[in-house]
Structure 1
Amino acid sequence: MKETEALEKSCGLSRNEARVYLALVRLGSSKAGKISKEAAIDRTSAYNSLKSLLEKGLASYATIGKVKWFQAVDPRALKDYLAAKLEDLDAVLPGLERKYAAEKLQSNMRLYKGDRGIRTVLGMVIHEGAENRVFGSENQLDSRMPAFAAKFKALLEKRRIPTKNLVRQGRKMHETKLRKARYAPLETESPVVTNVFGNKIAIIIWSETPEAILIDNATAAAAYREYFDFMWRNASRS
């Protein structure tokens, strides 16, 4: 991931803010005109981004004569910036959760798109903490999103979340104390993987742009679990 993109996605900076911050890191103490050229943006946009970075505590300046010299804060301070944002979120999160629980429909279905959507849905597996029943996996997560797949599996182990995988015969899945697999005689590969955890069903479709359908319904989840458990009892161990 490029540095500009990383600052945008991880720190929530705008494209111009990220460019200006990186220009400051490369240049050290500099005047606005030079920063504008280094960041490859017009002077007005550079000034606006500098003002925003100053307000966020990610840049500082000193006035020498009548000229302002700008400088980036130590990149390690970006973690402090993110921690402060999380503290702000923690302050309002309880109220948001109460409103969400009160207003949420009893039966809820949502659609997520792209890699970010898949990360969001699988993050719910971790948050829920309940056993995850998975069927139809062809290791798409490992092949399409290997870095996230490794983190996801590590979190499952760390949180002690058991997973049962019902997979096609002819495939082999690495098992652990928490990750179990059984094999069913399915003839063809499928791009669809179903996860059942808590009161939720996540149907992931590994098309060119992956999509996930999340169903939050206790009755439907119970029915899926019952079907999965029937298949599990009748599946082979190898």
Structure 2
Amino acid sequence: MDIGLLENLDLTRNEAKVYVRLLDESPAPLSFLLEKTDVSRRGIYDVIESLSKKGLISVVQKDGKKCYAASNPKRLYEIVREKEHFLDAIMPDLLKRHGSFKEKQGAMVYTGKSGIKTVFDMMIDEGKDIFVIGGQDLVYDLLKDYFHRYKNKRISKGLTLNILFRHDTHYDVQVNQENANIRFLPKEFRSPISTVTFGDKTTINIWVDPMSILIKSQKVADGFVEYFRMLWDISSERGRK
């Protein structure tokens, strides 16, 4: 299996190596782990201590030797739930602190795929209709399966997507028809930049080396919505066939 997946559950790469090896063969002595995992002798003790604290391995005796055994993988569910309980406890304070920022106008920059996902999640949380100028294939290629989950959330919350695709977009707009008003910009509109407006927020987006600049200003948002409506009137219902 791809041990990198376990790193998403707050295990280090060495912890993931040792745990997966013990799932395959438990109980096992220290010498076996050193041989099969390529973890250094100095590092293996830290890994064993950490996995023990997380409840993912235990110490057993086999033929009079100290060995280590993997705990049931369902323990990983418990670890995630424990983190959720901790997050629930501190969330009110985090939201209060974030609220003090939301009252102000300002701009923030989000980068990378994770940053773009954060912006898309923000669109859902805002709960307002969405206006896109310059929709293009790159965003769907970038977000892949996430985009479909986002689309389902948008539809379930009753949010309307108003989108002006670039004329050369190949994306199958049929997938995105529900709760959506779609047109295609004139051929002359070839900007690699797209904008998204929702509520009092507007993002300026670049999908190659992804970056999204978020501007919080009702005046700016109103201006982009007005610009959207002007472009809507000169756009067509069909793009590239």
TM-score for both structures, normalised by structure 1? 0.86
Aligned to 2:140: 142
State whether residues 201 and 221 of structure 2, in contact with CA within 8 Å, keep that contact through their aligned partners in structure 1: yes
Q: What do the CA deviations read for 1:28-85 (whole angstroms, capped 9, x no partner)? A: 2212221232221102212211211221222222245764322222223322321221
The total of aligned residue pairs comes to 235
State whether residues 32 and 47 of structure 1, in contact with CA within 8 Å, keep that contact through their aligned partners in structure 2: no
Q: What are structure 1's unaligned runs of at least 5 residues?
A: none
For residue 95 of structure 1, report the CA deviation from its aligned partner. Answer: 0.7
The runs of at least 4 consecutive aligned structure 1 residues that moved more than 6 Å come to none
Q: 1:45 to 1:211 in 2, by over 3 A?
A: same
Q: What are structure 2's unaligned runs of at least 5 residues?
A: none
For residue 233 of structure 1, report the CA deviation from its aligned partner. Answer: 4.4
Aligned to 2:68, the other structure's residue is in SS state: strand
Aligned to 1:18: 16
User: In 2, distance between residues paired with 1:142 and 1:42?
Assistant: 42
Aligned to 1:136, the other structure's residue is in SS state: strand
User: In 2, distance between residues paired with 1:89 and 1:25?
Assistant: 29
* One-letter identity of the residue aligned with 2:219: T
Q: Indicate the larger mover: 197-206 or 72-81.
A: 72-81
Aligned to 2:184: 183
Of 26, 29, 33, the match for 2:27: 29
Of 37, 48, 51, the match for 2:49: 51
Matched, 1:5 2:4: yes
For residue 93 of structure 1, report the CA deviation from its aligned partner. Answer: 0.6
For residue 105 of structure 1, report the CA deviation from its aligned partner. Answer: 6.8
Aligned to 2:219: 219
For residue 164 of structure 1, report the CA deviation from its aligned partner. Answer: 0.9
User: In 2, distance between residues paired with 1:188 and 1:95?
Assistant: 45
For residue 212 of structure 1, report the CA deviation from its aligned partner. Answer: 1.5
State whether residues 29 and 69 of structure 1, in contact with CA within 8 Å, keep that contact through their aligned partners in structure 2: yes
Q: Indicate the larger mover: 145-154 or 47-56.
A: 145-154
Aligned to 1:167: 165
For residue 235 of structure 1, report the CA deviation from its aligned partner. Answer: 3.3
User: In 1, distance between residues paired with 2:91 and 2:137?
Assistant: 34
Structure 1 vs Structure 2 CA RMSD: 2.3
